[in-house]
C-alpha cells in the first residue's frame, strides 16, 4: 500500500491536482519521461500518470493529474494519510538528452505536468531550454513558478489572451523560429491534438520533434498490445518503446481513432460505485 503524503490543487479552478506518494522503489530508479501505473484499490482500473517529480532521499514521487473521468475524480477525493493499493513503475523509456544544446519544450494544459520534468532534466544537463506553456485561460494556469526555475526563457500563452502571449504554443514557437531561434530538438507534450499540430508546425522547419504519446494503456509492460501505435510504418507499444517518439513519424489519425474507442464505457463508468468508500462518486 502506498501512502499519500500530500495533495493540493494547483490552481483555484481545481483543474489540476498534485499528489506526493510514498513509493521508495520507484523514487530510487525513476527518470524524466517515465510514468507509473496506479490502482486506487484492488477493484480499481489501472491508470498511467507521468512522474512529474521525485525525491530519492524521501522515497517519494509526485504525480499531477486532471480529474477527467471516474478514476482521476476518485483520486482527487483521497486525502493525505490514505493509501493507494498499487503504484507500479517506473515504466517507459526516459527522455533522451544526449547531444542536445538547445531545446524548446511545449506544454499544453495538464501536459505541463509531463513537460515540466522533461524541461527540468534538460536544464539539469546544461541544455538551453525555451519553455512554451499554453492554457485556455489565465484561471487554469498551473506550475508557472516551477517552470520558470527549469528553463532559460519561459513563454506563457493563453488561447483567449487573458495572460501572456495571445494564441497557441505552436504560434509562439513559429514566431521564435521565424525570429531566428534555432533548436536541436523540440519536445511537444500535452493533449494529442496539440502534439499533432505541433508536428505539422515544425515539419517545414525540419526540426526533430519529440512527443509523448498517451494511448490507452492496461498492463504497461508490453504484453496486452492495447497501447500500440504506428510510428514510421512500424507497430510500437507506447508503454515499453515510448512513450516518447519522433512526432513526424506518428500516425496521428490512427491514435486519435483508437483513443476514442472506449468513450461510451468511460462516460457510463463516471457514476459507478466506489468500493474504496462504498459511496457513489460522480465525475464532475
Ligand X SMILES: Cc1cc2nc3c(=O)[nH]c(=O)nc-3n(C[C@H](O)[C@H](O)[C@H](O)COP(=O)(O)OP(=O)(O)OC[C@H]3O[C@@H](n4cnc5c(N)ncnc54)[C@H](O)[C@@H]3O)c2cc1C
Is 243 among the residues that bind ligand X (CB under 6 A)? yes
Q: Determine the interface stretch with ligand X among 77-85, 152-160, 211-219, 248-256 (rule: CB under 6 A).
A: 211-219
- The distance between the two most distant Cα atoms of the chain, rounded to a whole number of Å, is 58
Q: How many residues sit close enough to ligand FES to count as binding (CB under 6 A)?
A: 12
Angle at 77 between CA 76 and CA 80, to 5 degrees: 90
Query: Which residues, other chains included, contact 145 with Cβ-Cβ below 8 Å and sequence gap of 6+?
Result: none
Among 217, 229, 231, 255, binds ligand X (CB under 6 A): 217
**Helix (H), strand (E) at residue 185:** strand 185-189
* The entry of ligand X, ligand FES, none that residue 224 binds, CB within 5 to 8 Å by partner kind: ligand FES
Contact present, 44 and 35 (Cβ < 8 Å): no
At 210, list the grid cell.
Answer: 519529440
* The entry of ligand X, ligand FES, none that residue 114 binds, CB within 5 to 8 Å by partner kind: ligand X
Q: What length is written for the chain? A: 284
Is 169 among the residues that bind ligand X (CB under 6 A)? no
Binding residues for ligand X restricted to 102-121, rule: CB under 6 A: 110, 113-114
Contact present, 94 and 122 (Cβ < 8 Å): no
Binding residues for ligand X restricted to 57-86, rule: CB under 6 A: 64-66, 68-72
Say how far apart CA 228 and CA 235 lie, in whole Å. 6
Cβ proximity to ligand X, 46 vs 138, nearer residue? 46
Binding site for ligand X (CB under 6 A): 35, 47-50, 64-66, 68-72, 110, 113-114, 214, 216-217, 243, 259, 266
Amino acid at each position: 500500500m502506498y501512502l499519500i503524503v500530500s495533495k493540493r490543487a494547483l490552481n483555484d479552478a481545481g483543474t489540476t491536482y498534485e499528489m506526493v506518494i510514498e513509493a521508495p522503489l520507484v523514487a530510487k530508479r525513476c527518470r524524466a519521461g517515465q510514468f507509473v501505473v496506479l490502482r486506487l484499490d484492488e477493484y480499481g482500473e489501472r491508470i498511467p500518470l507521468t512522474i512529474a517529480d521525485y525525491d530519492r532521499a524521501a522515497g517519494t514521487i509526485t504525480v499531477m493529474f486532471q480529474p477527467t473521468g471516474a478514476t482521476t475524480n476518485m483520486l482527487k477525493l483521497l486525502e493525505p494519510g490514505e493509501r493507494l493499493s498499487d503504484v507500479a513503475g517506473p515504466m517507459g523509456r526516459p527522455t533522451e538528452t544526449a547531444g542536445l544544446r538547445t531545446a524548446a519544450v511545449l506544454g499544453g494544459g495538464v501536459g505541463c505536468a509531463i513537460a515540466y520534468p522533461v524541461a527540468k532534466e534538460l536544464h539539469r544537463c546544461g541544455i538551453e531550454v525555451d519553455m512554451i506553456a499554453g492554457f485556455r485561460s489565465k484561471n487554469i494556469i498551473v506550475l508557472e513558478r516551477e517552470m520558470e526555475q527549469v528553463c532559460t526563457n519561459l513563454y506563457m500563452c493563453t488561447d483567449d489572451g487573458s495572460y501572456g502571449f495571445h494564441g497557441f504554443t505552436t504560434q509562439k514557437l513559429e514566431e521564435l523560429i521565424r525570429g531566428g531561434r534555432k533548436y536541436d530538438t523540440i519536445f511537444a507534450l500535452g493533449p494529442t491534438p496539440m502534439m499533432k499540430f505541433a508536428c505539422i508546425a515544425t515539419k517545414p522547419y525540419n526540426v526533430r520533434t519529440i512527443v509523448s504519446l498517451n494511448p490507452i494503456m492496461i498492463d504497461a509492460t508490453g504484453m496486452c498490445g492495447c497501447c500500440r501505435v504506428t510510428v514510421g510504418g512500424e507497430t510500437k507499444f507506447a508503454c515499453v518503446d515510448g512513450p516518447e517518439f519522433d512526432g513526424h513519424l506518428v500516425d496521428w489519425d490512427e491514435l486519435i481513432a483508437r483513443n476514442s474507442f472506449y468513450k461510451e464505457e468511460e462516460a457510463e463508468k463516471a457514476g459507478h460505485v466506489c468500493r474504496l468508500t462504498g459511496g457513489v462518486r460522480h465525475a464532475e
